[in-house]
Amino acid sequence: MISRRQFNQGLVALAFAGLSRQLMAMPGSQTSKALADGLGYGKLISDPNGILDLPAGFSYKVISSLGDMMSDGLTVPDRADGMGCLPLDEERVALIRNHELSPLKSPKSKSDTPRLVNTALSYDLDANDFPLPGGTSNIIYNLKTQQVEKEFMSLIGTIRNCSGGITPWNTWLTCEESVMKASDQIGKDHGYVFEIPANATQLVDAKPIKAMGRFNHEAACVDPRTNIVYLTEDRHDSLFYRFIPDNKQDIHAGGRLQAMALATQSQFDTRNWERLEMHLNQDYAVRWIDIDNVESPEDDLRVQGFEKGAALFARGEGIYWDNDQMYFCCTNGGQTKLGQVMRYKPSTKEGSEVEVSEPGILSLFVESPNKATFNYGDNICVAPNNHLIVCEDQYSDTVNNHLKGITPNGEIYDFAKVRWQTEPAGGCFSPDGKTFFVNLYSPTATLAITGPWESFKQA
């Protein structure tokens, strides 16, 4: 991500009503038509608390906020970003929540940190031997009682934990969106993926999975059939990666990092910025290119991959697995530079020597025609009805961020509107599909949303 707005609850949201009607009338857009026809759960109702507008029948509960005292004696950190919901038993889930904090954003007063934290478990320390402020916090939430049972830091000492992804073995992969190097201010290089188990009860030992590459990581997802990990990169000239583990049962035991290329064209540009290269809903067979020197001291993996023929993407961000395929956002892709959603269906022979005979297929699922339809999609998840729920993250002085729903046909609708001047992030559903959790980035607030999910209205 490029920059962050200072939170200012006093700012007034942009008045989009008249503009929206004008933009929805534009021809040639399925998504514009879907918005105009009232697809979705109904009109958004203004929230009297000024936090989140939702359709009638839906409600939210704030279950965690910036500065709340946690079970470990620490307070809830700011900048809550990506998040995963993982089952613990029939009633309880673990929400593992990223905090996108950098050393320069750390509090001036840190006297309690060494006393309350085992610094030996921290990945990195600053020049004063304080843990770096990035990491993850866990919320143990009881779905039946709708209460938080425990809350604690589970990873510390990292930088800008942006997004990540859940795994089939019930862990959360948390990704550093930073390539800061060891200096007189910090002790180690950064830009790695770390793993947090759902059953953690306190800080875990921070161990980077270096074979997954050192780059500006954003998010990850895992194909449960192969345990191949797919990784996005938040750069304007980013690549799309996969990590093939040497041991399917242990992703820490090494593996191969590769970048996606089209089977028939080298250096394909999916961004559609200069000219239309990638067409909506057209299938593109892919191949995969080996990446060398994955710890990349010069932060040049994307340069190396592109020189070998890899495809370019516009700021790869959230990614999520759905049945036999995955979806990922490209935040400023498209002719309007307002966002794309890609879909990748892996080969049935994915990662094997014979996958070339039946290659995986990449397609452009959504490309935004205007701001009212879709404006800078970031984190993404798949709802129980197979709709995508996408968190908008706009970059303007005043933002008008929504949670957008996308049907399997690519039609877009508004599910919620954030009233604070911040972004929604980390959207994820409980295993039973009845509760949707989402973060408000800053000041941190984690919400649990419930309602009549079965009441979706077709256009």
| pTM for the whole structure | 0.91
- pLDDT exceeds 80 at position 313: yes
**How many domains, in total, are found in the chain?**
1
Identify whether 231 is part of a domain: no
Identify whether 334 is part of a domain: no
Q: What is the distance between the alpha carbons of residues 196 and 435, in angstroms, rounded to a whole number?
A: 22
pLDDT of residue 116: 80
Q: What is the mean pLDDT of the chain?
A: 91
Please confirm whether the linkage preceding 443 is cis (ω < 30° from 0). yes
pLDDT of residue 114: 62
Q: What is the distance between the alpha carbons of residues 60 and 58, in angstroms, rounded to a whole number?
A: 7
pLDDT of residue 112: 59
Residue 30's pLDDT band, with cuts at 50, 70 and 90, is: very low
Taking only the tens place, the pLDDT of each residue in 317-326 is 999 999 999 9
Q: What is the distance between the alpha carbons of residues 201 and 203, in angstroms, rounded to a whole number?
A: 7
Asked if 406 and 366 touch (Cβ cutoff 8 Å), the reply is yes
Structure tokens at 257: 């990092």
Residue range(s) defining the domain that contains residue 107: 74-208
Between residues 48 and 117, the one the model is more confident about: 48
Identify whether 179 is part of a domain: yes
- pLDDT exceeds 90 at position 142: yes
Taking only the tens place, the pLDDT of each residue in 154-191 is 999 999 999 999 999 999 999 999 999 999 999 999 99
Asked if 170 and 198 touch (Cβ cutoff 8 Å), the reply is yes
Identify whether 395 is part of a domain: no
Mean pLDDT, residues 235-239: 97
pLDDT of residue 38: 75
Identify which of 91, 184, 106, 183 has the alpha carbon closest to the alpha carbon of residue 146. 91
pLDDT of residue 8: 36
Identify whether 53 is part of a domain: no
- pLDDT exceeds 90 at position 303: yes
- The number of residues in the chain equals 459
Residue whose pair of structure tokens reads 């999520």 in the numeric block: 320
Identify whether 124 is part of a domain: yes
Mean pLDDT, residues 254-260: 98
Identify which of 156, 138, 152, 135 has the alpha carbon closest to the alpha carbon of residue 73. 152
Residue 113's pLDDT band, with cuts at 50, 70 and 90, is: low
Identify whether 315 is part of a domain: no
pLDDT of residue 117: 86
Taking only the tens place, the pLDDT of each residue in 347-401 is 999 999 999 999 999 999 999 999 999 999 999 999 999 999 999 999 999 999 9
Q: What is the distance between the alpha carbons of residues 333 and 286, in angstroms, rounded to a whole number?
A: 19
Taking only the tens place, the pLDDT of each residue in 417-452 is 999 999 999 999 999 999 999 999 999 999 999 999
Q: How far is CA 60 from the centre of its chain?
A: 21
Identify whether 308 is part of a domain: no
Mean pLDDT, residues 78-97: 98
**Side chain identity at 146, as an amino acid letter?**
Q
pLDDT of residue 327: 98
| 3-state SS track over the chain | CCCCCCCCCCCCCCCCHHHHHHHHCCCCCHHHHHHHCCCECCCEECCCCCCEEEECCCEEEEEEECCCECCCCCECCCCEEEEEEEECCCCEEEEEEEECCCHHHCCCCCCHHHHHCCHHHCCCEECCCCECCEEEEEEEEECCCCEEEEEEEEEEEECCEEEEEECCCCEEEEEECCCCCCCCCECCCCCCEEEEECCCCCCCCCCCCHHHCCCCEEEEEECCCCCCEEEEECCCCECEEEEEEEECCEEEEEEEEEEEEECCCCCCECCCCCCCCCCECCCEEEEEEECCCCCCCCCCHHHHHHHCCCCEECCEEEEEEECCEEEEEECCCCCCCCCEEEEEECCCCCCCCCHHHCCCEEEEEEECCCCCCCCCEEEEEECCCCCEEEEECCCCCCCCCEEEEECCCCCEEEEEEECCCCCEEEEEECCCCCCEEEEECCCCEEEEEECCHHHCECC
Phi-psi region at 385: left, alpha or beta (left = phi > 0; alpha = psi -120 to 50): alpha
Taking only the tens place, the pLDDT of each residue in 198-208 is 999 999 999 99
Using CA of residue 319, residue 173, residue 96, residue 135, what is the dihedral sign? negative
Identify which of 305, 315, 295, 299 has the alpha carbon closest to the alpha carbon of residue 258. 305
